[in-house]
Amino acid sequence: MAVNSPLPVAEDLKPVHGIEIGFAEACIKKPDRKDVLVMKLAPTATVSGVFTKNRFCAAPVQVSKANLAAASSGGEKIVALLVNTGNANAGTGDSGLADAQATCAALAKLLDCHPQQILPFSTGVILEPLPVAKVVAGLPDAVANLQLDNWYNAAEAIMTTDTQPKAASRTVTIGGHTVTMTGISKGAGMIKPNMATMLGYLAFDAKVAQPVLDQLVRHAADHSFNCITIDGDTSTNDSFMLIATGAGSLVIDSAGTPEYEALKEAVTDISRNLAQQIIRDGEGATKFITITVEEGASVEECRKIAYSIAHSPLVKTAFFASDPNLGRILAAIGYAGVDDLDVTKLDMYLDDVWVAKNGGRNPDYQEADGQRVMKQSEITVRVKLARGDATATVWTCDLSHDYVTINADYRS
Amino acid sequence: MAVNSPLPVAEDLKPVHGIEIGFAEACIKKPDRKDVLVMKLAPTATVSGVFTKNRFCAAPVQVSKANLAAASSGGEKIVALLVNTGNANAGTGDSGLADAQATCAALAKLLDCHPQQILPFSTGVILEPLPVAKVVAGLPDAVANLQLDNWYNAAEAIMTTDTQPKAASRTVTIGGHTVTMTGISKGAGMIKPNMATMLGYLAFDAKVAQPVLDQLVRHAADHSFNCITIDGDTSTNDSFMLIATGAGSLVIDSAGTPEYEALKEAVTDISRNLAQQIIRDGEGATKFITITVEEGASVEECRKIAYSIAHSPLVKTAFFASDPNLGRILAAIGYAGVDDLDVTKLDMYLDDVWVAKNGGRNPDYQEADGQRVMKQSEITVRVKLARGDATATVWTCDLSHDYVTINADYRS
């Protein structure tokens, strides 16, 4: 189903020393599916994360933020991450917070640590109470099967409306040290992350100081998960967690070194891959669209225009139909909110086809050329603003009948 | 097809003295449909209008704005409005401007006036050159059948993907004077007006001074067309024109009088009716949704939240499915961009059903009650922010399979 996104191969997902993974089938929403995930960290590990900016951020997000802040500022280290699908535990008020803490307490007891050393995560339906007893009942199974080589199962355990698991692995050599990194993510609707997306987890086996890891996770998120959108709906549960297990030989104590730059590049690359897998498996997606806005006065205005195009239902349905009704893209640029935009200097390309020139139809543009590109499953829209040097790229998908079908039927 | 919106009855649309209407079938995009409209004004008439804020505003919008500004500031009076469907003449650069002016010149010749005394309007596909010759060829027919009693034909002549014409009439008595008002509008996609919508025309037979009319049209637009959205796509061609023909006995020279207030109320009421007809006939609409946000710190933040709900594809598909998956509404409130929103004080209602209380699920809320309301064809979402006294209302519709079908097929 996903657009040019082959199914991950379990054998290609490399174990990362310093992180063990266990899962369970806890029947949270449906039977016979993995819906509880535990990731247990070595004592050498550091963890950093970015979370949704949605004001209705979920109870587990609030608890994870607090526990992570305590650990990052010298408190007891994080011991494990706990994820459940089937229920978001968002819009659940004070009882939702107590529920999230109850699941942490139950796992802490099994792992012989304090509840504050657990980071909880949830995904699923909003405004419904978390079935705490079911989550807790699944924990002994998940802890019993903790092992290094469980990433494929982990990717499956965090799926909701995803049609396939999302994962990626890399081995890079930095300063003579081999670093192994593996990550997983999930979508597939309510996707317009603002800080990070629900859910991405990326681990590698270097040892990284906390402030450096904090800087790294923000950079990686800003250049990957924070550049994707399916439907413009920023979830209540978005979280992207970066874990440096410290089990390998590479040690990074400060940013700005060549080793840090190499690690940053590798982490950002794999993050982008995980983020793009979410778009390729977006609800109902039939096309993968890259929108690049160039020559802007600021990155912010480039992103504004790129998101305006990416969120337009008219643009998205035209992509679905392979219809080069490209004036809809100009309209979306025009209402993006860049109030002093001089459209008479604006150019637009569809892949190699020059469609709009100085704000009007390029006299050399032929509809057959636009039609040819629109039929592809991968399309790049390039907009040149002639206002400056800034650039931004956003990845999105089309809007199809299946999106409506899936979301008119999600809870049944 | 439209949601609880009966077809206008031609006999109920009252002629407004001082404005004559003619139409033609000019085969601009398709044969056998009215696609050119001329509205000729009495010398006593004043005209005011609001136009799209889309930076890619169409060539006819640019010409109309310039001609209207000249007339309003003491130049020669506006003699006629000219509308074509089938082509938006937007994203067409300098040649588009010349095309719009050419149609004005042709009509001016037939009406024995200057081209600057014509206001041109277009609606249809963007980024394609206006077939000027076809428009011009239709003008003699349109001028030949100019008559007072042609409003139903006018409503039909401005339709694009609308499934039915939109029109309304009122007779009000103000200060002992009878005022007759009739208006028409069209949608049905690319609807999130920012100033006004493509296209609304409202005429009445009082005599109103230009600055007063300018004030009146802004008030009416802000409380009607500027409160609706179908898909969040602000068109390049939005225009709402208010015409005071001056043919009746009521004369209004200044705002702030009881007569002005009565006229304002009547004009706003009929504008709201015309705007809501657009939503009821929104592309693929099966439900009419009213979103009211109360107790905000400012009208602006109330509107932000209302539009965030109204534009969420997840909320719109849930309405289509009659699925009380109401956590999606909370998520949309949370990412609306009101950064200091305290969700623990927020309440939400669906018609009479109290769904969310202090940011969580109301303990007394029963899903059966939510289900009952979601099945209705008219639904009100009410959000209380507990931050102040401001209120805003937005009208929208659901997102159905037919929206995708219509917009994946619009040009064929």
Question: Cα–Cα distance between A205 and A45 in angstroms, integer?
Answer: 8
Q: Do residues A329 and A381 make contact, with C-beta atoms less than 8 angstroms apart?
A: yes
Give the total residue count for chain B: 412
ipTM score assigned to the predicted complex: 0.85
Mean pLDDT score, B85-101: 94
Largest CA distance in chain A: 72
Considering only the beta carbons, identify the residue of B313, B401, B404 that sits closest to A231. Answer: B313
Mutate to test the interface with A, among B51, B56, B326, B364 (most CBs of A within 10 A): B56
Mean pLDDT score, B254-283: 91
pLDDT band at B410 (very low <50, low <70, confident <90, very high): low
Cβ-defined contact of A332 to B233 (cutoff 8 Å): yes
Tens digit of each residue's pLDDT (9 = 90 or more) over B378-405: 999 999 999 999 999 999 999 999 999 9
Cβ-defined contact of A57 to B231 (cutoff 8 Å): no
Cβ-defined contact of B331 to A190 (cutoff 8 Å): yes
pLDDT band at A310 (very low <50, low <70, confident <90, very high): very high
* CATH number for the domain running over B288-407: 3.10.20.340
Considering only the beta carbons, identify the residue of B54, B361, B411 that sits closest to A331. Answer: B54
Rounded to a whole number of angstroms, the distance from the CA of A57 to the nearest CA of chain B is 8
Cβ-defined contact of A234 to B335 (cutoff 8 Å): yes
Considering only the beta carbons, identify the residue of B192, B331, B344 that sits closest to A126. Answer: B331
Strands B251-252 and B19-24, by their bridges, are unpaired
Mean pLDDT score, A101-105: 98
What's the pLDDT score for residue B374?
Answer: 96
Question: Cα–Cα distance between A281 and B210 in angstroms, integer?
Answer: 56
Chain B residues in contact with A348 (beta carbon < 8 A): none
Chain B residues in contact with A404 (beta carbon < 8 A): 317, 320, 399-401, 403-404
Q: Do residues B232 and A312 make contact, with C-beta atoms less than 8 angstroms apart?
A: yes
Cβ-defined contact of A55 to B312 (cutoff 8 Å): no
Cβ-defined contact of B330 to A127 (cutoff 8 Å): yes
Catalytic residues of B: 197
Q: H/E/C letters for each residue in chain A?
A: CCCCCCCCCHHHCCCCCCEEEEEECCCCCCCCCCCEEEEEECCCCEEEEEECCCCCCCHHHHHHHHHHHHHHCCCCCCCEEEEEECECCCCEHHHHHHHHHHHHHHHHHHHCCCHHHEEEEEECCCCCCCCHHHHHHHHHHHHHCCECCCHHHHHHHCCCCCCCCEEEEEEEEECCEEEEEEEEECCCCCCCCCCCCCCEEEEECCEECHHHHHHHHHHHHHCCHHHECCCCCCCCCCEEEEEECCCCCCEECCCCCHHHHHHHHHHHHHHHHHHHHHHHCCCCCCCEEEEEEEEECCHHHHHHHHHHHHHCHHHHHHHHCCCCCCHHHHHHHHCCCCCCCCHHHCEEEECCEEEEECCEECCCCCHHHHHHHHCCCEEEEEEECCCCCEEEEEEEECCCHHHHHHHCCCCC
Rounded to a whole number of angstroms, the distance from the CA of A284 to the nearest CA of chain B is 12
B301 secondary structure, DSSP code? H
Residue type, B91: G
Provide the b/e sequence for A276-297 (b: ≥16 CB within 10 Å): bbbbbbbbbbbbbbbbbbbbbe
Rounded to a whole number of angstroms, the distance from the CA of B231 to the nearest CA of chain A is 6
| CA distances to A15, A271, A281, B67 from A166, in Å | 16, 11, 9, 57
Cβ-defined contact of B313 to A232 (cutoff 8 Å): yes
Residue A410 has pLDDT above 60, yes or no: no
Q: Return the residue of A nearest to B348 by Cα.
A: A91
Chain A residues in contact with B92 (beta carbon < 8 A): 360-361
Lowest mean pLDDT among A154-163, A238-247, B195-204: B195-204
Residue type, B140: P
Mean pLDDT score, A326-354: 94
Chain A residues in contact with B408 (beta carbon < 8 A): 317-318, 320-321, 323
What's the pLDDT score for residue B412?
Answer: 45
Percent of chain B with pLDDT over 70: 98
Tens digit of each residue's pLDDT (9 = 90 or more) over A159-210: 988 899 999 999 999 999 999 999 999 887 777 877 656 688 898 899 999 9
Residue B342 has pLDDT above 50, yes or no: yes
Strands A46-51 and A239-244, by their bridges, are antiparallel
Residue B340 has pLDDT above 70, yes or no: yes
Considering only the beta carbons, identify the residue of B93, B317, B338 that sits closest to A360. Answer: B93
Phi, psi (deg, nearest 5) at residue A239: -155, 135
The reply to whether CATH 3.60.70.12 applies to domain B10-280 is: yes
What's the pLDDT score for residue A199?
Answer: 81
Mean pLDDT score, B257-269: 93
In this structure, what token pair is assigned to residue B332? 């949309």
Question: Cα–Cα distance between A177 and A180 in angstroms, integer?
Answer: 10
What's the pLDDT score for residue A231?
Answer: 84
Per-domain residue ranges of chain B: 10-280, 288-407
Candidate list A197, A229, A245, A290, residue with the active-site label: A197
Alpha helices in B43-131 (DSSP H): 59-72, 93-111
Residue B172 has pLDDT above 90, yes or no: yes
Percent of chain A with pLDDT over 70: 98
pLDDT band at B198 (very low <50, low <70, confident <90, very high): low
Q: Annotation-wise, does A186 bind a ligand?
A: yes
Q: Return the residue of B nearest to A310 by Cα.
A: B233
Element (H, E) at B211: helix B210-222
Phi, psi (deg, nearest 5) at residue B296: -90, 165
Tens digit of each residue's pLDDT (9 = 90 or more) over A269-305: 999 999 899 889 988 999 999 999 999 999 999 999 9
Considering only the beta carbons, identify the residue of B126, B312, B405 that sits closest to A331. Answer: B126
Q: Return the residue of B nearest to A127 by Cα.
A: B327
User: Which residue in this structure is represented by tokens 């950064």?
Assistant: B339
Q: In 3-state terms, what secondary structure has residue B142? A: helix
The torsion angle over the Cα atoms of residues B401, A160, A226 and A238, rounded to 10 degrees, is 120
Mean pLDDT score, B331-342: 93
* CB contacts < 8 A (A, B): 223
Considering only the beta carbons, identify the residue of A332, A336, A404 that sits closest to B317. Answer: A404
Tens digit of each residue's pLDDT (9 = 90 or more) over B212-261: 999 999 888 888 888 888 888 888 888 898 999 999 999 999 998 999 99
| CA distances to A20, A62, A179, A242, A279 from A266, in Å | 22, 29, 10, 13, 20
Q: Annotation-wise, does B412 bind a ligand?
A: yes
How many CB atoms lie under 10 A from the CB of residue A395?
Answer: 23
Chain B residues in contact with A312 (beta carbon < 8 A): 231-233
Tens digit of each residue's pLDDT (9 = 90 or more) over A27-44: 999 999 999 999 999 999
Cβ-defined contact of B90 to A327 (cutoff 8 Å): yes
Mutate to test the interface with A, among B51, B54, B55 (most CBs of A within 10 A): B55
Tens digit of each residue's pLDDT (9 = 90 or more) over B11-40: 999 999 999 999 999 999 999 999 999 999
Sign of CA dihedral A2, A312, A61, A260: positive
Angle CA(B16)–CA(B21)–CA(B26) in degrees, nearest 5? 160
Cβ-defined contact of A404 to B407 (cutoff 8 Å): no
Q: Do residues B99 and B59 make contact, with C-beta atoms less than 8 angstroms apart?
A: yes
Q: Return the residue of A nearest to B52 by Cα.
A: A335
Chain A residues in contact with B309 (beta carbon < 8 A): none
In this structure, what token pair is assigned to residue A119? 């980071």
Percent of chain A with pLDDT over 90: 78
Mean pLDDT score, B282-309: 95
Rounded to a whole number of angstroms, the distance from the CA of B365 to the nearest CA of chain A is 11
Cβ-defined contact of B327 to A409 (cutoff 8 Å): no
Mean pLDDT score, B82-111: 96
Q: How confident is the prediction for chain B on average, in pLDDT?
A: 92
Comparing CA positions, the residue from A34, A31, A281 lying closest to residue A155 is A34
Residue A412 has pLDDT above 50, yes or no: no
Strands B288-296 and A118-123, by their bridges, are unpaired
